[in-house]
Each structure stands twice: as structure tokens, then as C-alpha cells.
Structure 1
Amino acid sequence: MNRQPIVVFPDSYPAALNVVGERITVLASRHDTGAHEVFLQQGPEGSGPPPHSHPWDEVFYVTQGEIAFGLGADQLVAVPGTMVQIPAGTPHWFRFGAGGGQMVSFTGKGNASAMFAHFDREIAPDAPDLGKLVAIAQAHGAKLEVPMPA
């Protein structure tokens, strides 16, 4: 396969996916690149995923706001200009701080874009079904660490 350079200008971004209140724009999927994926992630205050892990590496670069990260047993607050790299299999989470925030993320050897699109299609952002959320994550190789409803 002879891949070509990819250039995505802001006025040609694809529609953002709504993943439980967070807006995720797929700038480049594994299908586009042959390997990694690139996302623009924007979230309102308090949004972000529960503790989870997946079989792909992930890198976040904070561009706006403060974003709290949980990395295994450690926690930190990332400000604009901070880069956070998470190896595959590492439990982690994040929460957008006061006023919300924005970051660019990169994944390697995964298919997060397909998982995000699946969440966007199947999960109501304002009243997510946790059982369905867990099942979709598992179908894409990720593991969410959320309590299951009784």
C-alpha cells in the first residue's frame, strides 16, 4: 500500500463524535495511516472516561484548560503544553477541569476510532447505559473498570 501524506485543515474536520458528553474528532484513523490514530478531544468540565485500559499505547497533548489524569495509582493535573504517554494495558482515566478543555491524542496499534464511533452510535450521552458501555468497550479490546448496575 502506497500511503500519501495526510493534511486536515480545521475547516474540513469530520463531524465530532459524542462519546458520553466528550467531543472526539477523528483527524486520522488507522485506516488512513496504516498504523496510528490521531484525535482532537474536547470536553466540558467534569467529563472524561472512567478508569479503563486497552491494548494500545496512547499519548495526550493538552492544548487548553486543565485536565486531571489518573495513571495507575498516581494522579496529576496537566496544563497546556503537557504531554502524557500511557503504555498499552495501563489503567488510566482523565477529567476535564473547570471550564472544560482540549487535547490532541494519538494511539498506536489500536482501533480507538471504531470504538468511539460505536459509542457515538449506541450510547446516549446524557444517560449512558453502563452495561452497554462496558460491552462495547470489550468488543473493541478495552476494559472499563466501572461498577455494574445491580
Structure 2
Amino acid sequence: MPFQLSISQADEPRIAIPAIGLQLRVRLPQYVSGGSVAIVETTNAPGFGPPLHRHGETEIFYVTAGRYLFEVDGRQFEVRQGEMVTVPGGCAHGFVNIGDTPASQLVTIMPGMDALAFFTELGEAMRAGRPDPAALAAFGQRWGVEFLGPPLRAPQRPAARSGA
């Protein structure tokens, strides 16, 4: 598929979805690649991530900062800065930022989907907080996304011991 020239500026506005602790920029819209790929830069607040979900697109997650707990088809594993995970289309997946500071990823989506419209609409659907499961399912159906459950939770850390 032919690509078009595309320049993604450092100061492009972000889409914010506070209900899931997400800020993102669409770095490569799908139309630039003739629909073959889209690339999104995401930042997740500590303890946040998307609901468990699946869709037909393959996603490649390259962690640029922080640490995440991923779950893919029931298997959980930690991914750190500089590491990458490929989630084939059709796999149930989710992740959560398990660090104390914001964590970031560069996400490649294949084939490309209209990430700008999807995340803008998701932000509208979550403007008042997380919608009920039926509303989220209806939103997902329009996009070929099946929401399967709540977001992953960061593991609880043991309480700090006082004085010794």
C-alpha cells in the first residue's frame, strides 16, 4: 500500500480520557498508510489501563517509559521500558501501568484503523466516567471491539514497615 508524506509534530494536541487515565496522540493516521497501519503514542497514569478487550487488529506495544502488567489470553507478564509485546488480532488483552509515575507506549495497529475517531468517540463515551457495560459494549460493537471485563488492577504492594 502506498504511504503519503506525514509529519507528526511534538506539540500536537493530546486526546485525554481521564476515566481510564489515558492521554494519547495519533502519530500516524491510517489514511497516511493506505489503511495498512496506524501508530499511537499513549501515556497511562499509575494504576490505569484499558478494559480487557479484543479486536481483529494486531497491536505492537513498545514501552518507551515505565512498567506495565499485560494480560494476553489469560497469561500475565510484566513489560518494562525498551521492551515490546505483539498481541495478534483476536487475542483478549489489557494492561495496567504498575509504576508510580506515568508510563508510555508507542502502539502500532495493523491493519490501521481510524484511531483519531475511535479515541475521540471513546473519550466522549467516558466523559462522565466509565460507562455501564451495556453502553461500552454498544460503543465497541460499532468499532469491532469486544469489551470483556474491567481493566487489570495493579498488584498490591506490601505495606511499608514502620521503624525497626
Is the TM-score greater than 0.5? yes
Q: For 1:101, which of 79, 100, 103 is the aligned residue?
A: 103
Note the alpha carbon deviations across 1:22-62, whole angstroms, 9 max, x for none: 11211111122212110011011111112110010000000
Cα distance in 1 between the residues matched to 2:45 and 2:23: 9
Equivalent residue runs for 1:123-138 within 5 Å: 123-124=126-127, 127-130=129-132, 131-138=134-141
> Are 2:52 and 2:149, in contact at CA under 8 Å, matched by a contact in 1?
yes
Once the two structures are aligned, what percentage of the paired residues are identical? 25
> Are 1:39 and 1:105, in contact at CA under 8 Å, matched by a contact in 2?
yes
Q: Secondary structure at the match of 1:88?
A: coil
> Are 1:42 and 1:102, in contact at CA under 8 Å, matched by a contact in 2?
yes
Is 1:143 aligned to residue 153 of structure 2? Answer: no
Cα distance in 1 between the residues matched to 2:14 and 2:23: 9
> Are 1:67 and 1:95, in contact at CA under 8 Å, matched by a contact in 2?
yes
TM-score, structure 1 normalization: 0.87
Gaps of 5+ in 1: none
The CA RMSD measured in Å over matched residues stands at: 2.0
Partner in structure 1 of residue 159 of structure 2: none
Cα distance in 1 between the residues matched to 2:3 and 2:105: 26
Partner in structure 2 of residue 33 of structure 1: 33
The alpha carbon displacement at 1:134 in A equals: 2.0
TM-score, structure 2 normalization: 0.80
Equivalent residue runs for 1:1-150 within 5 Å: 3-11=3-11, 13-18=12-17, 20-34=20-34, 35-98=36-99, 99-111=101-113, 113=115, 114-124=117-127, 127-130=129-132, 131-146=134-149
Query: Kindly tell me: are residues 97 and 15 of structure 1, through their superposed partners in 2, closer, same or farther at Cα, counting changes over 3 Å?
Result: same
Cα distance in 1 between the residues matched to 2:70 and 2:93: 7
Gaps of 5+ in 2: 151-164
Task: Please identify runs of 4+ aligned residues in structure 1 that moved more than 4 A.
Answer: none
